[in-house]
Amino acid sequence: MWKLINSLISSEAKSLCPPEKPFDPIKSNYTSNPEVMFNIFNTYFVSIGQQLASKISPPVHDTYLEKVNDLKNSSVLHDAFVEEVNMIMNNLLVSKSNRQNDIPAQILKLCKNPLSPFLVGIFNLCIREGT
């Protein structure tokens, strides 16, 4: 952020500096009146903001939502965790019938603690390898 600010004001820094002593344009002299000083400095800082804002280039994407919409059809697969696999195994329905070659849900539930680390390793390897 500071690099941007410095690059915007570097060549004009001297012309943009506030006066050392506030000059009262109405009385044509330097002033020590706090209200006049406040107005002079306020005018100065308001104009600096406008000058700097006019030099900042517009963002590549018009809105944040436009950037998000670019990603709406993408997905990310994160590594699985043992706790996650245990939770899924706990939620298996024992009452559902299995096909002939399937492992019964009751067996998976009973063996979840020794099986989970191995399943997690296999899942994560598949995610990394894309298989």
pLDDT score recorded for residue 2 = 63
CA 100 to CA 75: how far, in whole Å? 34
Strands (E), 1-131: 23-24, 29-30
Q: What is the mean pLDDT of each run of 10 residues along the chain (131 residues)?
A: 62 53 67 76 75 74 59 75 92 79 84 93 88 72
Residue with tokens 């329905």: 93
Q: pTM score > 0.85 for this model?
A: no
pLDDT score recorded for residue 118 = 93
